[in-house]
Amino acid sequence: MTPSLKTESGTQSGSSEPPVLAVTAGQLLRKARLKAGIHLAVLSITLKVPVRQLEALEADELDPGKGPVFYRGLASSVCRHLHTDAAPILALLPQTSFQLEPLRSSIKPLEDEASMGIAGLPWGRMASSKVVWSATFMLFMTGALLWLPGPSHWAWLEDVKSLMADQVVSQEVGEPVSLPVIGATSPTFEASDAKTTQSPASFVSNVPNAATTAVVTEPVATKSSQVIPANPVTATASSSAGRSDASPEWVFSASGDSWLEVRNAQKAVIWSGVVKAGESTRIQSPLPVSVVVGRAQAVTATLRGQAFDLKPHTLVTVARFEVKE
């Protein structure tokens, strides 16, 4: 038995081979650099890397502070410059440990209403109904904006404009002014010529022919009342000349509340006030006159018994015109 054991042990010892040393990444880089015939200093200048870092890479002395990413990138640059395959060298270098783990969400999907125990609560139905009603309301508003008539067809805008115009003009006009009416007494007046005098009888006979200014509101005054002009001297001179006719009469009839303002040639206010619905105002004044009528669409005017059209002179709701003859 002993020789057989020796034979077996000899066979086993003869069949064993010497262990092969493992090749490192630094050795492969050094071998490739020497094969290309490039000095380490030239490689350092080309890659702009210190020589000591290249020496440390070839000696497999890796600084843990720089990390595997730095050395793997440096090895890739050296292999690219030496025109050699970098895959076997990178496989021997430390692998990067900064790999992102797959995202795991902590939010769990909602379970059905039966498992959560809220099957009897109408939260889902309420939310869906709010969305439906909101969408319906938006569609209705969009259709209303598309089919509503334009601003030019809105009748209430005209009322607003007329009201604003009435307020502006009423502020400009101010308080209504009316002229006083003097009684029927006929005092004696002196003429402009000191040498010429008139008797009371002759003065009374000439008064109806003088140019007068009077304002009468229906009903008309009786024949016993007379209106004396503000300037008696001018009236007497005009009556002696006998060349002026009676003042034209204006009649303004209002179907709605309105206001009037009449001014003479000197821009003095002859009559200004409000005319109620259903009233008529008679105004006598010599021409020329300037007239302003508020809410002209509700007022009809006549001059010397003939209708006077206010529409050509109306802007929005206020009519402004001047009559010279």
Identify the CATH number of the domain in which residue 71 sits: 1.10.260
For 201-211, what is the mean pLDDT?
Answer: 39
Q: Is residue 112 part of a domain?
A: no
Residue pair 256/279 in contact (Cβ under 8 Å)? The answer is: no
Q: Which of 92, 126, 144 is the last residue of a domain?
A: 92
Kindly indicate the confidence band of residue 48, based on its pLDDT and cuts at 50, 70 and 90. Answer: very high
In this predicted structure, the answer to whether residue 146 has a pLDDT above a threshold of 60 is yes
Could you say which DSSP state residue 208 is in?
G
Q: Is the pLDDT of residue 27 over 50?
A: yes
**Nearest one of 92, 79, 95 to 22, comparing CA atoms:** 92
Instruction: Kindly report, residue by residue over 92-127, the tens digit of the pLDDT.
Output: 888 876 544 555 656 665 555 444 544 445 555 555
Q: How many domains does the structure of the chain reveal? A: 2
- Angle (CA) 137-139-143 rounded to 5° is 115
Q: What is the distance between the alpha carbons of residues 86 and 198, in angstroms, rounded to a whole number? A: 141
What's the pLDDT at 247?
Answer: 65
In a domain? residue 254? yes
Rounded to 10 deg, the angle between the 51-58 and 40-47 helix axes is 120
Determine the pLDDT at residue 199.
40
The yes-or-no verdict on residue 188 having pLDDT over 50 is no
Is the CB of residue 294 less than 8 Å from the CB of residue 169?
A: yes
Does residue 251 register a pLDDT over 70? yes
Residue 187 pLDDT greater than 80, yes or no: no
Out of 42, 70, 92, a domain closes at: 92
Identify the domain boundary among 35, 69, 92: 92
Residues 304-312 have a mean pLDDT of 88
Instruction: Report which of residues 126 and 306 the model is more confident about.
Output: 306
Q: Is residue 279 part of a domain?
A: yes
Is residue 200's pLDDT more than 70?
no
CA gap 173, 270 in Å, rounded: 12
Mean pLDDT of 229-256: 57
Terminus-to-terminus CA distance in the chain, angstroms?
165
Side-by-side strand order, sheet with 299-303: 214-217, 280-284, 249-254, 299-303, 306-308
Residue 144 lies in a domain: no
Rounded Cα–Cα distance for residues 265 and 7 (Å): 156
At residue 194, the pLDDT reads 38
Has residue 163 got a pLDDT over 80?
no
Q: Which pLDDT value is given to residue 149?
A: 65
Give yes or no for residue 190 having a pLDDT over 70.
no
Helix extents (H) in 179-244: 200-206, 232-241
Tell me whether residue 29 is in a domain. Answer: yes
Q: Is residue 9 part of a domain?
A: no
| Model pLDDT for residues 269-291, shown as the tens digit of each residue | 988 889 888 898 898 888 888 99
* Reported confidence tier of residue 173, pLDDT bands at 50, 70, 90: low
CA dihedral of residues 158, 164, 165, 168 (deg, nearest 10): 180
Does residue 46 sit within a domain?
yes
Find the domain containing 204 and state its range: 200-323
What average pLDDT is seen over the chain?
69
Q: Tell me the C-alpha distance between 279 and 253, whole Å.
A: 6
Q: How many CA atoms lie within 13 A of 272 on its CB side?
A: 18
Q: What is the mean pLDDT of residues 52-69?
A: 88
Is the separation of the CB atoms in 213 and 285 below 8 Å?
A: yes
How far, in Å, CA of 253 to CA of 282, rounded? 9
Specify if 296 maps to a domain: yes
CA dihedral (195, 199, 205, 210) in degrees, to 10, reads: 40
| β-bridge pairing 280-284 and 306-308 | unpaired
Quick check: 144 pLDDT over 60?
yes
Q: What pLDDT does 265 receive?
A: 86
What percentage of the chain has pLDDT greater than the value 70?
A: 54
Average pLDDT for 307-317: 89
For 270, list phi and psi in degrees, rounded to 5. -90, -45
- pLDDT band at residue 45 under the 50/70/90 scheme: very high
